[in-house]
Structure 1
C-alpha cells in the first residue's frame, strides 16, 4: 500500500504542477477544474495496475466514466471563454502574490484534497472476496449519482444556450428539486464508490473520500461560492425559498 500511495501521490502532483505551469502561461487557472476529474482517473488507473481485480476494475471504470465526462463537460463549457469568475477575482485580490497563492491554494491544496478523496480508490486494491450483491448496491448508488450530475449539467447547458434564457435562472428539470443537482449527484456517486471499496476492504477509511467531497461541495468551493454570486437577485431569493440547496425534495407541487 505504501508503494501505491507514493506512486499515485507523485503522479497526481506532477499532473498538478504541469497544470499550474500551463495555467500561468495562458493566465487561466480555470483549467485546474478540467484536471480535477482527470487526476482521479489517473489514480484509479495506477491502482488497477497495482492489483488488477474485479473490484479495482469496477472502481477504475466508474471513476474514469465520471472523471472523463466531467473534464469534457468543463472543457467544452469554458472553451474560448475568459477565466472563471472565481479565479479571476482571486487573481485581483492576491495582487503581487497571485503566483504564489495560486500554486498553494488553487493547485497544492486541491492536490491534498484529492489524496484524501481518493482513499476509496486506493483501499479497493486490498480487496478480498466480495459478494456481487454488495458490489451491485454500490454501483446502483453510483449510477443514481451519475445520472443526477450528468443530466443536471446537460439541462443547464441547454438552458444557457437558449437566447430566451438570458438573465434567467434555471428552475426546471432536476433543478426544480434541488438548487444543485449536479453537486448532489457528484456527492452521491462517490458514496457508491466508497461502499464498493468498504465492502471489499472492510476499512472504514474508505468513507473519508465521500466525506471530503461533501465538505468541498457544501462548505468550500461548490455551493457557497456559486450562491454568493446570486444572493442579491430577487428571483434567486424566491427560488431558494422553495428549493432545497442540496438534497432534492421528494415531490414538486406546481403552481
Structure 2
C-alpha cells in the first residue's frame, strides 16, 4: 500500500472505497466475536459497552490500512477516532469493573426463549451494535480514501471534535467525583457542565461524530454520509442514550424532576429560572 501524496484534483475512487468496506466489516466481526467470548466467560454481556469505543478504533485502523487516501487526512482521522475510542473504552471498563450485569441487558435478556439466551444476545445486542457501529463510522471509512489534502473545513471538524472530547471527558470526570462522595448518594449532580445540560457526555459524544463528519465532508463525497452523525445523535438523545437513562431515574432521585425542569436535556444552555407560583408557563 502506498501513502504518497496524491493530487487534490484527483477524482474520488469509488472502487477503492468499496474495497475498504469488507475489511471494516471484518474488523467489527472480530471485535464483537472476541467480546462475546469474554462476555460468556464472565457471565455478563455488559462488557459489550467497553467494545463500543474499541470497535470504532478497529474500523479506523482497518480502513487506514486498506485505504490509499491523502496521508494527512488519513492520519488525522485515525488519531481522532483512536483518541476518542480508547478513552471511552478505558472509562467504561473502569466504571463497570467488578460489577454484575447491566440492568438494561438483564431486562432485554429476560425476553430470551428458554435455551436460546446466547443466540438471542447475539441477535439483539451484538448484531445491532455492530450494524450501528459500522454505519456511524462511514465518514471515517470514506475519509481514508479521499485524495484531497486537508482544508479549513477539515480543521474546523477537528475543532468540533475537540469540543466534544472536552465535554465527554470532563463530564465523565465530574460525575465520577460526584459519585465517589458518599454524602452525594441519592442527590442530583447539577454543577459544572451538568449545570448546563443533563448529559454533557452524550452531547460531547455527538460533537465528536459531527466533527469527524466535517473532516470527511471537506472533500467529496464525505458530505453524502451525513446520516451517520444524525443516527449517532438520535441514538444518544432519543434512543439508548439519554432517554433510556432517564426512564426511571426520577423514582430513585426525587430531586431529578426539578432538575429536568430547569436544565437542558442535551445541548448546553443556561438553566431556566424557576417559575413563581401562579405564573403562567
What's the TM-score, normalizing by structure 2?
0.85
How many pairs are equivalent? 255
1:95 shift after superposition: 5.3
CA distance in 1, matches of 2:161, 2:193: 17
Q: 1:185 aligns with which of 204, 218, 221?
A: 204
1:66 shift after superposition: 0.3
Q: 1:75 aligns with which of 75, 85, 93?
A: 93
Residue 23 (structure 1) aligns with: 39
1:211-230 equivalences under 5 Å are 211-230=230-249
1:57 shift after superposition: 0.5
Residue 237 (structure 1) aligns with: 257
Q: Relative to structure 1, is the Cα distance of residues 243 and 250 closer, same or farther in structure 2, using a 3 angstrom cutoff?
A: closer
Is this contact kept in 2: 1:13–1:111, CA < 8 A? yes
SS in 2 for 1:80: coil
1:102 shift after superposition: 0.8
Is this contact kept in 2: 1:90–1:98, CA < 8 A? no
Is this contact kept in 1: 2:263–2:271, CA < 8 A? no
SS in 2 for 1:244: coil
CA distance in 2, matches of 1:203, 1:121: 9
CA distance in 1, matches of 2:233, 2:273: 28
CA distance in 2, matches of 1:121, 1:71: 18
Is this contact kept in 2: 1:124–1:201, CA < 8 A? no
Residue 12 (structure 2) aligns with: none
Q: 1:122 aligns with which of 128, 141, 145?
A: 141
Q: Relative to structure 1, is the Cα distance of residues 204 and 134 closer, same or farther in structure 2, using a 3 angstrom cutoff?
A: closer
SS in 1 for 2:110: helix
1:167 shift after superposition: 1.5
Residue 199 (structure 1) aligns with: 218
1:93 shift after superposition: 3.6
Residue 152 (structure 1) aligns with: 171
Q: Relative to structure 1, is the Cα distance of residues 56 and 147 closer, same or farther in structure 2, using a 3 angstrom cutoff?
A: same
Bigger radius of gyration among the two: 2
Q: 2:84 aligns with which of 59, 66, 71?
A: 66
CA distance in 2, matches of 1:252, 1:135: 35
CA distance in 1, matches of 2:168, 2:53: 13
SS in 1 for 2:81: helix
1:132 shift after superposition: 3.3
Q: Which runs of 5+ in 2 are unaligned?
A: 1-16, 275-281
Tell me which protein shows more helix as a share of its residues. Answer: 1
CA distance in 2, matches of 1:195, 1:25: 40
Q: 2:102 aligns with which of 84, 95, 106?
A: 84
1:213 shift after superposition: 0.7
